[in-house]
Structure 1
């Protein structure tokens, strides 16, 4: 089962209230989605990005950046403050290393201000 931990002082623009990894446990060779649910206190603006970094030991095996539109995953763009769900998709190799993986999921404004940060840890068996 994946565990998530808040990992930063965010700008307070996105308050994360729920986290999930689907499927949990991950399935080799299939899509793996990390989902952050939360509340926007104001709109983040153009140029907002998300980043997913997954490591096995010290080696980063996943390092992906997403646009705001990609993070919304087909949901309508928020028009103002309120609930939002952001999706960080990736695919594990057909034969990923078995053991504990650790990662960081971040959302940042165009100017580099961190809006949200979550660390994740899960086991590939």
Structure 2
């Protein structure tokens, strides 16, 4: 399972030519908040003044990042060896990848009923 650890890589620029930092999280889904904090610290943010308050605007919403990370970790294919889930942060975008192919046709992601394998994984996570 160590090879299935979440790896986060920050690249300088828009291409994967020059990685600037990398960190691996071996705790998986159990301590998702630590990995989420690390990812959010690497993402650009901007402070604006609204009225009398200073507000931090993030490039990506916290809830969206959390949902993407959780789904990436839960829905990975554990039968594929040698690779694990990865988050690549570039200038202007972020990519979430995990090993394997989708169990559901990509065109039917929104309205396809859950499969037996998905129910088993959900039961394990509960």
What is the TM-score of this pair, normalised by structure 1?
A: 0.31
Q: Which has the higher contact order (CA 8 A, sep 6+)?
A: 1
> Structure 2-normalised TM-score?
0.31
More strand by share: 1
More helix by share: 2
